[in-house]
Amino acid sequence: MFESLTDRFDTVFTRLRGRGRLTEADVDEALREIRLALLQADVNLKVVRDFVARVRDALVGIDLSTSLTPGQQVVKVVHDELRQILGGETLKVTYASRPPTVILLAGLQGAGKTTTAGKLAAWFKKREGRNPLLVGADLQRPAAVEQLKVLGAQAGVPVFSEQSDPVTVAKKGLAEAIRLGRDVLIVDTAGRLSIDAELMDEVRRVSETVEPHYTFLVIDAMTGQDAVATAEAFHRTLELDGVILTKIDGDARGGAALSVKEVVGRPIVFASTGEKQDEFELFHPDRMADRILGMGDVLTLIEKAEAHVDAAGAEEAMARMQEGRFSLEDFLDQMQQVKKMGSLSGLVGMMPGLPKELRNAEIDDNALGPIEAIIRSMTPQERRDPSIINGSRRLRIAKGSGTTTTDVNALLDRFKQMQVYMRQMAGMSGLGGRVARSAVRRNNKKAAKKSKKRGR
Amino acid sequence: MLTLIIVLIVVAVVLLSTATFLVTGRRRGRRLEAPPGRPPAPPVTRPTQPPRPTEAGPRAPPQPEIAEPAVAEPAVTEPAVAEPEVAEPEAAELEVLEGEPEVLERPRFRDRLGKARNLFSGYLTSVRGREKIDATTWDELEEALILADVGVDATAKMLDDLRSRVRKEGLTTPDALVDALKGDMVSLLEGDRELHLQSGVTNVWLFVGVNGVGKTTTIGKLGQRARRDGHSVVMAAGDTFRAAAADQLAMWAERVDAEVVRGNEGGDPGAVIFDAVQHAAAKKADLVLADTAGRLHTKVNLMEELKKVRRVAGREPGHVSEVLLVIDATTGQNGLVQAKQFADAVEVTGVVLTKLDGTAKGGIALAIASELGIPIKLVGLGEGAEDLVDFDAVEFVDALIDAD
């Protein structure tokens, strides 16, 4: 989501770092760029202004002219301020001593409240081992309750609703949760505009009725300048505990996330990363700051790896990489592991030190299908030693995988090139960002040439 | 742990570079046009079609056109036949509807925006009425436009043009300046605002957009309008993905006395729309309002699916006379990217700007209109069926920057 912001900051920082001395004009220029980058990312104008002012203030205290690495210092100040803005603890749900723990969702129309309610229910059930009850208090939008029922069924969570009014539904829902012994109650409400006094009053009454332990505002990541006004209004009415950011799998720059945190002082607690019910995660504000600053999100990556990847297998693969014996078979194995960890584009966003071209590459996970098909159409012997693949074998593989011989060649070429870098990379003790970077650049150039040859 | 990450990165890098190559190489070869005259699948009630697995795997990739031999009866829900359980949720809203007078004047921007404006008046109050144009004036103009989501680039361009106008025309007062700016903005918004209908064909108006912008609601409201204007309307529940989306549309259809054609949840949206066109043609209905599932413009598969839907909708006797991109007024700069992608995929003919009755000013529509030349045709100003009105550039601009 924050990729383009990352790129912009990267450019500014690179320029600053390269300077031996910084004049005031240089700093002004850098600040102007940062301001533009933030505004283009939909960060609220007022937030941007404060941010730039704070960075400037912090810089005044540093005598840049005498510093040996002035650029580095500006970068550090911006880092610190950005962390400040986005910062905050990751939500740790405290469950009520007398269940149920009540969660109220509110927001504008179309932000994704109902979908989020379903995802939240699934999260509580699957990740936290709780027994949630969903309450459909959106009696406004046609079929909203139907939608919630379908989502509840998917999550294996019961749904309560009836045709009365939202306050009554919420009240009965709470009673129902107690009766059934459900320990988490998630109340979905109708979308409403922050200036609709009547509806805002209604949601306040719902809130007073169920006395939620957590009140979350659901906000669309694509929201523009208005995010602040909306968040402030809901915060005044409901006392928010946090924000759930939806649709972050698009290419919106997510400025709303920064603005809201800054203005209402409440962190983003969850982010919805896709259309599937389990594409929903706790949000780690500090990690996101690192991600914006182009530092990757290694922590999340490691967590995912720990949860999904077979560590012993990876060790072995690594050893083989070092010895240059990493075969297509190993590759296939590791590919399966990677697939388990989620979408490729999501993973790439968390990797540190990847070049822009790769980070922003549009990756359709279905494109992995042909790769797998090609490898699976090879004999074990071919997988271990691709050099034996001659013309007729190639044709057979292409036919078997429903691809063309050009595709087979492309895969083999890539794999061969990468084997060289794999050895280098595996041999390094650190995260060999630079090597990967140059490898990929070279690769991309070759690909570009190739595609030109194909007449694209 | 480091080992894991390194292995991961290497594998991902190989995958990425190869996948990118294969995809780009492949796309070139794919035939975009379906062979003409081949009947599409009418799998509305196809029993073998599994419901779209919402939990497992991404949405199905766009399928090649497959001729299905089994011609199933399209599942047409007559408006009168609605499950009682489903009809009930309207209670709250019906009340609102009944409260309205029988013959409704379409509300104008001004009336509708009244309440919002009193609370959050435009950002330019302080500019007008001052003596002269100075640096502060320009700053405030810039601020007003950015806060209205017009965007940094579009704002800069507009203000540059304005500066040269100031020099050329010798404008001296902020009042004149603001008026000039408004004039510029109005002319940027010029375009063909008509909603086109061809006679002798079954017109299809296709609604596209990202998730949650209000496509289904817009169809409901527009259906009411079209019914009032004497059209016979069939609604096509092409959103087969979101849970209960078809129910939502069916309720609207019932409310406005239109017919609805729906398929299975998880079914092929193209087939649903094709059936709707067939049904409309058989019933001599002249307008099909076709809903589609919300999709992020970044999802390649789903955009391919949408292209296919558009092709299928245009098959005889169908004629796609409008492709309306629905955009939420709260959308920020991403709206421009959305519009570009959707326009590239399905030749968008107009924008419907929804939820303009909130505090958001919808300035992104200005950027869309000026940069991509896609006219704003309709505006959503409230939840009622009558709250969808024709776009009015002058009033839109007024509401965007002015206080009174």
Position with higher pLDDT, A250 vs B201? B201
ipTM, two decimals, is 0.72
CA separation for the pair A427, A447 (Å, rounded):
26
Q: Which H or E element spans position A231?
A: helix A227-238
Residue B262: which residues within 8 A CB-CB, separation 6 or more?
B44, B75, B77, B236, B237, B246, B249, B250, B272
User: In the numeric block, which tokens belong to residue B307?
Assistant: 């292209």
Last residue of a domain, one of A242, A269, A292: A292
Question: Quick check: A201 pLDDT over 90?
Answer: yes
> How many Å lie between the alpha carbon of A158 and the closest alpha carbon of chain B?
16
Higher pLDDT, A151 or B67: A151
CB distance B212–A109 less than 8 Å?
yes
Work out the minimum CA distance from A20 to partner chain B, whole angstroms. 31
Across A330-339, average pLDDT: 80
- Please indicate whether residue A158 or residue B9 has the higher confidence score (pLDDT): A158
Closest residue in chain A to residue B57, using alpha carbons only: A276
User: Greater confidence, A118 or B51?
Assistant: A118
Are A227 and B330 in contact (CB < 8 Å)? yes
pLDDT at B76 over 50: no
Question: In this predicted structure, what is the pLDDT of residue B3?
Answer: 56
Interatomic CA distance for residues B355 and A224, integer angstroms: 13
Determine the residue among B334, B354, B401 to mutate to test chain A binding: the one whose Cβ has the most chain A Cβ atoms within 10 Å: B334
A207 to chain B, closest Cα gap in Å: 19
CA proximity to B14, closest of A175, A260, A415: A415
Domain assignment present for A321: yes
pLDDT at A86 over 90: no
**Number of Cβ pairs < 8 A linking chain A and chain B:** 310
CA B180 – CA A343 distance, rounded (Å): 50
- Which region among A52-61, A406-415, B126-135 has the lowest average model confidence (pLDDT)? B126-135
Whether chain B has a CB inside 8 Å of the CB on A357: the answer is no
Q: How far apart are CA B357 and CA A192, in angstroms?
A: 11
Highest average pLDDT, of A349-358, B58-67, B245-254, comes from: B245-254
Residue with tokens 């941007």: A48
Say yes or no to pLDDT of A1 above 80.
Answer: no
More confident residue, A266 or A427: A266
Chain B interface test: which of A225, A328, A407, A409 (most B C-beta within 10 Å): A225
In a shared domain, residues A214 and A320: no
Are residues A321 and A397 located together in one domain of the fold?
A: yes
Same domain? For A308 and A197 the reply is no
Question: What is the pLDDT averaged over residues B338-351?
Answer: 95
Position A455 in a domain: no
Instruction: For residue A309, give the nearest of B9, B136, B126, B147 by alpha carbon.
Output: B9
- Percentage of residues of chain A with pLDDT beyond 70: 82
Task: Examine the domain organization and report whether A287 and A337 are in the same domain.
Answer: no
Q: State in Å, rounded, how far the first CA of chain A is from the last one.
A: 29
Backbone dihedral angles phi then psi of residue A182, each to the nearest 5 degrees: -80, 140
pLDDT reported for residue A66: 64
Q: Does residue A282 sit in the same domain as residue A398?
A: no
| A27/A313: higher pLDDT | A27
Q: Do A42 and B93 touch (CB under 8 A)?
A: no
Q: Which residues of chain A lie closer than 8 angstroms to B153, CB-CB? A: 40
Give the pairing of strands A184-189 and A242-246: unpaired
The 3-state secondary structure of A11-80, one letter per residue:
HHHHHHHCCCCCCHHHHHHHHHHHHHHHHHCCCCHHHHHHHHHHHHHHHHCCCCCCCCCHHHHHHHHHHH
The answer to whether B20 contacts A42, with C-beta atoms less than 8 Å apart, is no
Q: Where does a domain end: A258, A292, A326?
A: A292
Q: Is pLDDT at B181 greater than 60 in this prediction?
A: yes
Window 27-86 of A: residues touching B by CB (8 A cutoff) are 36, 39-42, 45
Chain A residue closest in CA terms to B244 = A147
Does B254 have pLDDT greater than 90?
yes
Check if the beta carbon of residue A253 is closer than 8 Å to that of residue A4.
Answer: yes
**Burial environment of residue B81 by CB neighbours within 10 A (0 to 12, 13 to 18, 19 or more):** exposed
Burial code (b: 16+ CB inside 10 Å, e: under 16) for A197-206 equals eebbebbbeb
Whole-number Å distance between alpha carbons of B217 and B387: 11
The verdict on a CB contact (< 8 Å) between A36 and B296 is no
Q: Do A250 and B210 touch (CB under 8 A)?
A: yes
The mean per-residue pLDDT over the stretch B369-379 comes to 93
Question: What's the whole-number mean pLDDT along residues A205-220?
Answer: 96
In a domain, A91, yes or no: no
Q: What is the count of structural domains for chain A?
A: 3
Whether A406 is covered by a domain: the verdict is yes
> Within a domain: residue A342?
yes
How far is B388 from chain A, CA to nearest CA, in Å? 16
Q: Do the Cβ atoms of B57 and A277 come closer than 8 Å?
A: no
Interface of B with A in 265-284 (CB under 8 A): 265
Do A313 and A227 belong to one domain? no
CB contact under 8 A, A251 and B14: no
pTM value?
0.72
pLDDT of residue B354: 95
Q: Nearest by CB to B5, which of A146, A298, A337?
A: A298
Q: What is the DSSP string of A257-314?
A: HHHHHHHH---EEEEE-SSSTT-EEE--HHHHHHHHTT---HHHHHHHHHHHS-HHHH
Domain for residue A92, yes or no?
Answer: no
User: Domain range spanning residue A339?
Assistant: 301-443
Interface check A364 vs B, CB under 8 A: yes
Say whether both A163 and A203 belong to one domain: yes
What's the CATH number where A181 sits? 3.40.50.300
Q: Which of B44-58, B100-114, B195-209, B283-297 has the lowest mean pLDDT?
A: B44-58
Q: A429 and A315, same structural domain?
A: yes
Query: Is the Cβ of B117 closer than 8 Å to some Cβ of chain A?
Result: no
Can you give the CATH number for the domain in which A40 is found? Answer: 1.20.120.140
- Is residue A147 domain-resident? yes
Do residues A155 and A267 share a domain?
yes
Considering only A292-301, B82-91, B122-131, B293-302, which range has the smallest mean pLDDT?
A: B82-91
A456 in a structural domain? no
Distance of alpha carbon A160 from alpha carbon A182, whole angstroms: 12
Of the residues A292, A317, A349, the one at which a domain ends: A292
pLDDT at B56 over 50: no
Indicate whether A42 and A114 sit together in one domain.
no
Give the list of residues 6+ apart from residue B107 with CB closer than 8 angstroms, or none: B381, B382, B386, B387, B389
pLDDT at A26: 82
The verdict on A121 and A224 lying in the same domain is yes
Inform me whether the pLDDT recorded for B71 exceeds 80.
no
pLDDT per residue as tens digits for the range B255-305: 999 999 999 888 999 999 999 999 999 999 999 999 999 999 988 889 999
Q: How far is B272 from chain A (nearest CA, A)?
A: 19
The pLDDT of residue A68 is 63
Rounded to 10 degrees, what is the CA torsion of A12, A13, A14, A16?
Answer: 90
Q: Which of B2, B3, B16 would best serve as a mutation to test chain A binding (most A beta carbons within 10 A)?
A: B16
Q: How confident is the model at residue A389 (pLDDT cuts 50, 70, 90)?
A: confident
Q: In what order do the strands lie in the sheet with B202-208?
A: B76-77, B259-262, B233-237, B287-290, B202-208, B318-328, B350-354, B376-380, B388-390
* Residue A133 to residues A150, A177, A280, A326, A338, Cα–Cα distance (Å): 14, 6, 18, 49, 34
Chain A CB within 8 Å of residue B380 CB: no
Task: Give the confidence band of A368 by pLDDT, cuts at 50, 70, 90.
Answer: confident
Residue B287's pLDDT is what?
Answer: 95
Same-domain check for residues A275 and A307: no
pLDDT tens profile B107-121: 556 565 554 444 444
Pairing of strands B388-390, B376-380: antiparallel
What per-residue confidence (pLDDT) applies to B92?
38
Whichever domain contains A417, its CATH number is 1.10.260.30
CB proximity A450 to B under 8 Å: yes
Nearest CA in chain A to B364: A224
Contacts of B252 in chain A (CB under 8 A): 142
A122: nearest CA in chain B? Answer: B55
Give the pLDDT of residue A253: 76
Does B248 contact A421 at a Cβ distance shorter than 8 Å? no
Mean pLDDT of the region B121-134? 69
